[in-house]
Amino acid sequence: MTTTTLDGKVAFINGGSRGIGAATARRLAREGATVVIGYQASAIAAEALVAEIEARGGRATALKADASDAVALTRAIDGVAERHGRLDILVNSAGVLLLGPVDQFTLDDFDKTVAVNVRAVFVAAKAAARHMREGGRIINISSTNAGRMPFAGGAVYAMSKSALTGLAKGLARDLGPRGITVNNVNPGPIDTDMNPAHTDFAAALHGLMALPRHGHADEVAGFVAYLASAESAFVTGADLLIDGGFAA
């Protein structure tokens, strides 16, 4: 471990077994945090990530936490705080991407999108805030689509991410007097299972960007690590783009 800017901190990453969440777990552990990786179905991936982090000298555990189940998610976060005696950092990385034109988009898919992308963020933030001290950090993985949806079929996804803008601003006001910050990281196209870099769809996205490539999950994780650190103490209620100029 080369840096310890988060030494002594405890972080819970909801949706931490794959993609941006997994990269964030690696980065925060490298910075010295004890990392709890929340997962819904990817137990094998979560345990493999724990083993990887521990092999590099970090501290990590995996914990099943269904983002769509408010009771289970709250119980998981309470358990992290009780087990470690504190909770300093919450990263809301769980998300779903369901696309389709409005005349074909089902109400079930609408409800699932809202449950995971919006409701779970509120539930987790509410649970985590009860345990956080001054210097606490709540970081939501949102999307550049919160402010720009340049193709058809993404209305509900964009709505779910734009809802986080208002939520983060409001929570920042609620929790600011306690020294807790709340921010959104808004990635553009990132090379993950959800949005791989080598598809026809990816090529179309690159044509909309100032930097015509997918980003890397590690690049987003570095942004999250900054927001988790003491250096970001004066940043709150913000939507912070890391999108290769997608929204430029």
* Confidence (pLDDT) at 3: 56
d(CA 248, CA 245): 5
Distance of CA 63 to the CA centre of its chain: 16
**Structural domain boundaries in the chain:** 10-235
Exposed / middle / buried, residue 55 (Cβ in 10 Å: 0-12, 13-18, 19+): exposed
Amino acid, res. 246: F
CATH superfamily of 10-235: NAD(P)-binding Rossmann-like Domain (3.40.50.720)
In this structure, are residues 30 and 24 in contact, taking their beta carbons and an 8 Å threshold?
no
Q: Shortest CA distance to 32 belongs to which of 60, 59, 2, 6?
A: 6
The yes-or-no answer on residue 157 being catalytic is: yes
% of the chain at pLDDT higher than 70 = 99
Q: Using the predicted structure, report yes or no on whether residue 243 has a pLDDT greater than 90.
A: yes
Tens digits of residue pLDDT in 31-49: 999 999 999 989 999 999 9
Tell me the pLDDT tens digit for each residue of 186-202: 999 999 988 889 898 89
Given a cut of 60, whether residue 2 has pLDDT beyond it is no
Pair 10, 89: CB distance under 8 Å: yes
| Mean pLDDT within 54-79 | 97
Residue type at 220?
V
Structure tokens at 149: 């949806």
Among residues 157, 181, 189, 214, the one annotated as catalytic is 157
Q: Residue 38: phi, psi to the nearest 5?
A: -85, 135
Q: Which residues pair with 62 in a beta bridge?
A: 37
